[in-house]
Amino acid sequence: MADHALLEMRHINKLFPGVKALSDVDFTLRKGEIHALMGENGAGKSTLIKVLTGVYQNDGGEIRVEGKNISIRSPQDAQNNGISTVYQEITLCPNLTVAENMFIGREKDVFVHNRRREKRANELLGELGIPARGSQMLGNCSLAVQQMVAIARAVDMNCKVLILDEPTSSLDDKEVNVLFGLMRDLKARGVGIIFVTHFLEQVYEVCDRITVLRNGELVGEYLTEELPQVQLVAKMIGKDLDEISSFGEVEEKEFSDADIFYEAKKLSSSDALPFDFEIHKGEVNGFTGLLGSGRSESVRAIFGADKVNGGTVKINGKHVKITKPIDAMKNGIGYLAEDRKRDGIIADLSVRENIILALQVMKGFFKPISRSESEAFADEYIKVLNIKTASRETPIGSLSGGNQQKVILARWLLTHPDYLILDEPTRGIDVGTKLEIQKLVLKLAEDGVAVTFISSEIEEMLRTCSRLIVMRDRRIVGELKGSDLNQAQVMKTIAGGES
């Protein structure tokens, strides 16, 4: 198998303080193949890529290019060894011409020869079928073309291994096809391509092999045609189809249309495609799908966290306009953001201050919550949610992840929402706290609060939600409830029709 291996990574380990990001991962890339690297969030694929490009150094294992042992200490090292990377965000300069972007930083001449450069650029662009001219300003090109210019630069540097990190996430279908054409062309020239993406269809369209990672470990390497889509999803999520059994069923609840609390028609935002959605009082529903499937973007649109582009929203049957988070909050919606560190906590403020934040905003800044009142609130929720903190005045940054999450939950509970959106509330927290949060969700529902629950762990969703909305490639592809609510069905829906 290793005969015509272009790149071999053996027993790669990478340690971060307290976390083993990669443990004993093997990866093999052959000449002239497109190899997909798949895995959910935290699976270690980006760490593996960063080890390969020299952004991180591996803590063990070896990397061989064409049979030769190499050590990669910097991005420059990687390039010298024929490993080039094209990132999701364009790493070119928009204020320079296409030709300059292709050649700058790697020419020996002190004076630049624009004509000669542009001629060479045009030749290469023509050869690769990239619709751009060397003399054009890069900023005038579409994103797809900019990406292809970056690839052309890599090709001109005689790269043997080309890493494409989420190259298609900002491209439309037509552009994706042009990019795939280029990828197949490079493949025919013997370049090995590592393709990182979360679009399953695209993997099956261009890739020869798939390597799946999970929790920093290698799950396996498969030929694309031998791995059905549903199997791939199972491997990424970590449950084999055989071991799927039903978990503690959520008791069925019947909702009448009169109970609808929130209803959206054709709601869309800068990041979410139009979708319809409704939720009843006392209902727990979930959005599921792989990372990047649009589940977070959809709930962000509901909360008005991204720029809302269109659609109508009804709350309790009345039309309302929600374009900013404050609109949503005034209508009784709370949103616990996915990225706790960035969108949730304010690390330097105390637990108490973090708790009263949302309530204070809703009341307006001219009606301050008195000190004694806020202390009472903080004490109450610290007790109710069992938040482990030295005191209510401890900065939230020094708490553990699970306790931080509880503080943020307390922040929203304090506003007494009618509808609470929880985006990945259980990520990165210990099992005990996870269970507590799940119980809390169910209890809130009993009290008549509508809850939307998002989690990467399907098992957890099945335990709490009575209805699951499944998303794939930014579209709602299914709605599961009742007897359909089991892991096998969810995975089939995530992976798409055929299985």
Partner 1 sequence: MKNTKTFRREPLTDSQLLMTIAICIFLVMYVGAMLIFKGGFLRANQIFDILNDNAPLIIVSCGLTIVMIGGGIDISVGAVTSLVVMACALFLNNGGNVYLSMLLAIGIGLGFGLVQGFLISYLDIQPFIVTLAGMFFARGMTTILSVDPQKVNIDPIHNLFETIHRGALVNTSIDPQTFNTSTENLTELVRDGKMTFFEAIKNMNFRTLLEGKIKIDWLGYTAPNGNRIPASMEYGVVIALLCVVVIFLLLKFHKLGRGFYALGGNQTSALMLGINVKRTRFLSYVICGLLSGISGYVFLLHTGAGNATNAVGMEMNAIAASIIGGTLLSGGVGNVVGTFFGVMILNTIKKIVVTSGLNAPWWQSVTTGGMLCFFIILQSVVIFIRSKVRRSRISKK
Binding site for partner 1 (CB under 8 A): 75-76, 79, 87, 90-97, 100-101, 104-107, 109-112, 114, 122, 126, 129-131, 133, 135-137, 139-142
Residue type at 24 in one-letter notation: D
Smallest separation, CB 182 to partner 1 (Å): 10
Smallest separation, CB 99 to partner 1 (Å): 11
With the CA atoms of 303, 306, 309 and 312 taken in that order, what torsion angle do they form, in degrees rounded to the nearest 10? Answer: 0
Enter the tokens of residue 449.
């609060």
Pick between residue 76 and residue 312 the one whose CB is nearest to partner 1.
Answer: 76
Pick between residue 84 and residue 487 the one whose CB is nearest to partner 1.
Answer: 84
Pick between residue 135 and residue 323 the one whose CB is nearest to partner 1.
Answer: 135
CB 340 within 8 A of CB 405: yes
Smallest separation, CB 107 to partner 1 (Å): 7
Pick between residue 20 and residue 133 the one whose CB is nearest to partner 1.
Answer: 133
Smallest separation, CB 144 to partner 1 (Å): 9
DSSP string, 1-54: --TTEEEEEEEEEEEETTEEEEEEEEEEEETT-EEEEE--TTSSHHHHHHHHHT
Smallest separation, CB 106 to partner 1 (Å): 5
Enter the tokens of residue 124.
């290469």
Smallest separation, CB 223 to partner 1 (Å): 31
With vertex at residue 229, the alpha carbon angle to CA 227 and CA 234, rounded to the nearest 5 degrees, is 90
Smallest separation, CB 180 to partner 1 (Å): 14
Pick between residue 7 and residue 149 the one whose CB is nearest to partner 1.
Answer: 149
Pick between residue 123 and residue 249 the one whose CB is nearest to partner 1.
Answer: 123
- The conformation of residue 398, written as its DSSP 8-state character, comes to G
Pick between residue 133 and residue 324 the one whose CB is nearest to partner 1.
Answer: 133
HSE on the CB side for 332, CA within 13 Å? 15
Pick between residue 95 and residue 256 the one whose CB is nearest to partner 1.
Answer: 95
Pick between residue 176 and residue 359 the one whose CB is nearest to partner 1.
Answer: 176
Residue type at 363 in one-letter notation: K
Residue type at 117 in one-letter notation: R
Which among 230, 208, 198 has a CA at the least distance from the CA of 296? 198
Smallest separation, CB 181 to partner 1 (Å): 9
Pick between residue 130 and residue 336 the one whose CB is nearest to partner 1.
Answer: 130
Distance CA 422, CA 324 (A): 18
Distance CA 405, CA 384 (A): 14
Distance CA 359, CA 218 (A): 46
Distance of CA 162 to the CA centre of its chain: 22
Pick between residue 123 and residue 348 the one whose CB is nearest to partner 1.
Answer: 123
With the CA atoms of 73, 77, 78 and 82 taken in that order, what torsion angle do they form, in degrees rounded to the nearest 10? Answer: -150
Smallest separation, CB 205 to partner 1 (Å): 20
CB 406 within 8 A of CB 385: yes
Residue 458: how many other CB atoms lie within 10 Å: 22
Which among 23, 8, 18 has a CA at the least distance from the CA of 218? 23
Enter the tokens of residue 183.
């990828």
Distances in whole angstroms, Cα of residue 375 to Cα of each of 119, 352, 406: 71, 7, 17
Distances in whole angstroms, Cα of residue 48 to Cα of each of 26, 81, 98, 159: 10, 17, 30, 19
Distances in whole angstroms, Cα of residue 344 to Cα of each of 141, 394, 425: 37, 17, 11
CB 211 within 8 A of CB 218: yes
Smallest separation, CB 105 to partner 1 (Å): 3
Pick between residue 128 and residue 480 the one whose CB is nearest to partner 1.
Answer: 128
Query: What is the enclosing helix (H) or strand (E) of 339?
Result: none
Pick between residue 58 and residue 84 the one whose CB is nearest to partner 1.
Answer: 84
Q: In what order do the strands lie in the sheet containing 161-165? A: 83-86, 161-165, 192-196, 34-38, 209-214, 217-223
Smallest separation, CB 91 to partner 1 (Å): 4
